[in-house]
Structure 1
C-alpha cells in the first residue's frame, strides 16, 4: 500500500509452496487441531466401498463424508437443478503413495491415474470425459488427508471431499459461464460450503461439526490457497485465501442455489499477479513497518470523507488516529487495557504498536495492521451517526465497513493506497486470529467465521450494507 508522494509500498501475504487439490496452491502452516465431535455412526466398508482403503482415520472420515455427500446431493440436486442426482459411476479410490499395495487397484489404476505419485498430496475428481476406465471417480491421498486432519481438525478432510464432490456436480450440470479454473474451483468450494451448512444444521447421518469449529475449518483452508501473485487466469488457478473462504461462506449462507447462480463471468476475485515493481521489491508486498501508520492515517479518512456523503448523505468528521506503545491514551469511562479501540472523549482511534501492530505485522502481514485499525475507525463512524459502539451490531458493522473500505481500495477508489496480492488473505487471517481476543474486540459473542462473513458482505455490497442507517 502507498501514500501519495511517498515511495510505493504494497501489502501482500505469505508466499506458499505449490500443492495440488486438482491444482491447489498451498503450504502446510502451524494449525490448531480441533477435532469436531465424533461421527454419529461410521459407514461400514461393505456399505460404501472405497478401492484401496486401509481403514485409517482418514479413510473413515472420507467414507463418512462421501456417504453424507451422496445423501445431500440426492436431496439438493432435484431442488436446485430439477432432476435426480446421478450417482458417481467410477467409484472412489484411496492410496498412500508411500506404501502402495498394487494388488488393491484393478489394472494398476488409482482413479484415472496410473501412477501413485500423481495422487500424492492431492485429491481429485476424474470427469466423465477423461477417456479412462475409472472416469467419474474421486481419488485421494489418505496420508495427506490424515496430515491435514491432525493439524486442522477432522472436518477439513471432509471439506476437501465436499470440494471434489462439487466437481462431480459440475460434471453433471456443466461448468461456470466462462469456464476459467478460478471460477470452477471456487464454485466447488461454494458447493462444499452448502454441504457444510447442511451438516452443521444436523442433517447428516454420519458427519458433525459444531459452530465454534468453523473458525478452525476456515483457518485450515489457508493451506489450499494459491500463492499470492498467482495469475487468476492461470490454467490451474484456484483463488486466493479470501476468494476460497468467501466461496465457502457463499454456499454456507445461500445454499447450493447461490453456487449455481453466483459464478458467472463477472464474479469478483481478489487474486492478482504482482506488478514488476512489487517483484523487484522482493515479491512479498509488505510495506516497511515505519510506513504503515502514514498509510492508515491517509487512506481511512479519504475513504470515509468520500463515502459518507455519497452513500449515506452526510459529512464525515475525521477522528484522530493515535498509535501508542504500551499505555493507551486516557479516555473517560473507557477500558484502556485494550490494544485497539475508539475513545469518544477526544474522538480518538487508538492502537498499540507493541502488543498489536508489531505481532500482527510479524505473524500475518501489514494489511492485518490496517484491518486492526479499520475496525475501531468504523466504530468512530457509528458514533458520529449516533449508533451503538460496544455491542454485537457495532462490531458487525465496523468489520463490514473494513470490508467495504478494502473493496473500494482494491477497485482503485481510494487514491492514497494501493493494494497488492495477499492483502485480503491477511484480513481473513487477522479476523480469525484476533476475532476472539478481548483485548482487540469487545466480547460480544461473534466467532471469527462470522467476522469474516460480515467483512465479505462489506467487500461485496459496500458501505450501505453495514448497518449505518439510524
Structure 2
C-alpha cells in the first residue's frame, strides 16, 4: 500500500555468473482429507531429501574437502544432469552437453579461484559463462540452504544454476540477454527438474508435494529482488524478479516442463508483470498501519471494485464471535448468517508484523500479509452472495484466486474510483504470496482451512492476479 517499508533481501553476487541465497522458516496450515492435486500430481506427505541408498555421483567435484554438504551437492549436480540427458534432447532436439567443470570453494579462505576471480567472501552458488563451470561455497552458502530448506534446497539452487547453462546451450540466452530473462528461465528449468524428482524418477532424491515442496517454494521467495525506489541508482538494473515473478516461472516449469521455459521471454515477463508496481516512489514507506480506519478503507475499496449487492458489515472484536455452522478464522473471520467480517485488530497487526516467525526479516513481511487475509474474508462474502459453497477445498482456492483479483485491481494504475486510500505498492504482492505460503489464511475457506500444498495456494492466487472474477469461479467452481 502507499506507505510501504523497504523489504531487505540478499542480492546475488555475480561474476559473469548468477545466484543468491538466504533462509526462511514457515508455519503449516490445516489440511483437508481430500485436497486438490498439485499440478496434476497427487498431493503427498512422503519423504523428502536424499534417498537412503542414492546412486553414486557421476561428476567429480573440484576443490572439495570431502564434506557432507559437498557430497550432497555433487549428487545434486549429477542428478540434474541425469534429468537433462533425457529432457534436453526431447525439448530442444539436440544432444545435451554437460558443464565443463563442477567446483567447490571455501569463502573464508584465500586459496580458491572461480570464473577468473578469488572466491574469498564469495558466499554464493553460481554458473560461470566463460568457463562453463558451476560452483558453490561450502562454508556458508550450502550449509545455510540445507539448514533452512533441507537437501532439496541445495538441489533446487544447483538446478537453478544449471538452468543458466541449459539456457545458454540451447541458445535461449546469450551475452546480450538481460539478467531478468536469464534468471526466470533458470527458475523455470529448476521447477522442471523438481517435478521429475517429485514424480519419483530421481535415483538420488525424493520430494513430496506437501511440506517438501512448500520448503522449496519458500526458498524461491527468499531469492526475490529487494524493493527499490524509483530514484535509486540501481533501480531496474540487474533484475532477477520479484517473489511473485520467480515463483510463477518456477511453477511454469514444474507444471508444464522445460518446453514452457523456452516460451519465457521479456515480452511474456512484461505481460505477467502487467500493472503491478515494481518500485517505490520517492518518500514512500510502503507501510499502511493496521487500524480501524485502514480496515474500513479496505472495505470501501472492495465495495467499489466488486460492487456487492449487500456489502458485509465490519465488526471489531478480539474474541471469536459465534456463527452458526462456521468456525472462526482469527484474526479475521466471515460469518455468512450475519453477513459480517469480524476483525481482531491486535491479531491483525501481529499478522502483518510476522513477529512470531524465527527470522521474519527473510520473508516478504509487511502490512499486506495482514491486509490480504482481510481481503480474503470479503472475497468469501462475494462468494456467499453468489450462492457458492464456502466450506470446501474449492472454496479455499477460489478465495485465494479472488484475493489475487482484488490485489491486482488495487495495484492497477489507474485504480478504481474511490479506492485511492489503499493503492498497493511495490512488494505488496510478494507479501501476500509469503502469507499464503506460511499461514494460508488468504487461501482458506470460511473455517480457515486450506489445502496443504502451498504450490496450489500460490497457483490459485496467481490465476486471480492475472485473470478476473469469472475465471476464478470457472476454475474453482
TM-score by length of 2: 0.82
Task: Tell me, yes or no, if the aligned pair for 1:65 and 1:161 is still in contact at 8 Å.
Answer: yes
2:456 to 450, 465, 468: 450
- In the alignment, the residues of structure 2 paired with residue 428 and residue 345 of structure 1 have an alpha-carbon distance, to the nearest angstrom, of 30
Instruction: Describe the SS at the equivalent of 1:98.
Output: coil
Equivalences for residues 326-337 of structure 1 within 5 A: 326-336=318-328
- The corresponding residue for 2:96 is 85
Superposed counterparts of 1:225-304, under 5 Å: 225-229=224-228, 234-267=236-269, 268-269=272-273, 270=276, 272-278=278-284, 284-290=285-291, 291-304=293-306
1:113 corresponds to which of 107, 116, 126: 116
* Contact 1:11 1:367 survives alignment (8 Å): no
Aligned-partner SS, 1:289: coil
**Equivalents in 1 of 2:12, 2:88: separation in Å?**
31
Partner of 2:358: none
Paired position in structure 2 for 1:431: 436
RMSD over equivalenced CA pairs, Å = 2.9
TM-score after normalising by structure 1: 0.83
Alignment of 1:4-15 (within 5 A): 9-11=2-4, 14-15=7-8
Compared CA separation, residues 403 and 381, structure 1 to 2 (3 A): same
Kept after mapping to 1: 8 A contact 2:352/2:367: yes
1:152: how far off?
A: 2.5
Quick one: which of 138, 141, 158 aligns to 1:142? 138
Which deviations, in whole Å up to 9, do the C-alpha atoms of 1:82-101 show, x marking residues without a partner? 2221222x21100112146x
Give me the whole-angstrom Cα distance separating, in 2, the residues matched to 1:255 and 1:297.
Answer: 40
SS at match of 1:117: coil
Residue from 81, 103, 106 that aligns with 1:96: 106
Q: Which position in structure 1 is the counterpart of 2:342?
A: 350
Change (3 A) 1:78 1:11: same
**Which shifted more, 211-220 or 413-422?**
413-422
CA displacement 1:402-443 (0-9 Å, x = unmatched)? 112212223324341322111011111111221289998533
How do residues 59-208 of structure 1 correspond to structure 2 at under 5 angstroms?
Answer: 59-88=70-99, 90-99=100-109, 102=111, 109-110=113-114, 112-117=115-120, 120-127=122-129, 130=130, 135-143=131-139, 144-175=141-172, 179-208=177-206
User: How far is the alpha carbon of 1:74 from its aligned partner?
Assistant: 1.4
For the Cα contact (< 8 Å) 1:69–1:162, is it kept in 2? yes
Q: Which residue in 1 is equivalent to 2:36?
A: none
User: Among residues 340, 347, 350, which one is paired with 1:359 in the alignment?
Assistant: 350
Q: Is 1:18 aligned with 2:11? A: yes
Report the 3-state secondary structure (helix = DSSP H, G, I; strand = E; otherwise coil) of the residue aligned with 1:72.
Answer: helix
Describe the SS at the equivalent of 2:7.
Answer: coil
SS at match of 1:467: helix
Q: 3-state DSSP class of the match of 1:93? A: strand
Distance 2:150 2:64 in 1: 20
Paired with 2:333 and 2:149, the residues of 1 have a C-alpha distance of: 31
User: Which residue of structure 2 aligns with residue 52 of structure 1?
Assistant: 63
Unaligned runs of 5+ in 2: 29-44, 355-364
Greater shift, 391-400 or 176-185, is seen at 176-185
Tell me the alpha carbon deviations over residues 308-343 of structure 1, each in whole angstroms, 9 at most, x when there is no partner: xxxxxxxx3242242423223443333247433321
Which has the higher relative contact order, 1 or 2, with Cα contacts under 8 A spaced 6 or more apart? 2
What SS is found at the alignment partner of 2:104?
Answer: strand
Q: What secondary structure, in the 3-state scheme, does the structure 1 residue paired with 2:228 have?
A: coil
Offset, 1:23: 5.1
> Matches of 1:136 and 1:271 in 2, distance apart?
35
Structure 1 residue runs of 5 or longer lacking an equivalent are 2-8, 103-107, 279-283, 306-315
Structure 2 counterparts to residues 335-414 of structure 1, below 5 A: 335-336=327-328, 338-355=330-347, 357-363=348-354, 364-412=365-413, 413-414=415-416
Q: Is the 8 A contact 1:19 1:121 kept in 2?
A: no
CA shift, 1:166, in A, is 0.6
- What does residue range 209-224 of structure 1 map to in structure 2 within 5 Å? 209-212=207-210, 213-224=212-223
| C-alpha distance after superposition, 1:48-103 (max 9, x if no partner) | 20101223232122112111111111111122212221222x21100112146x4x
Matches of 2:53 and 2:237, distance apart in 1: 40
Q: Aligned residue for 2:424?
A: 419
CA distance in structure 1 between the partners assigned to 2:338 and 2:27 by the alignment? 40
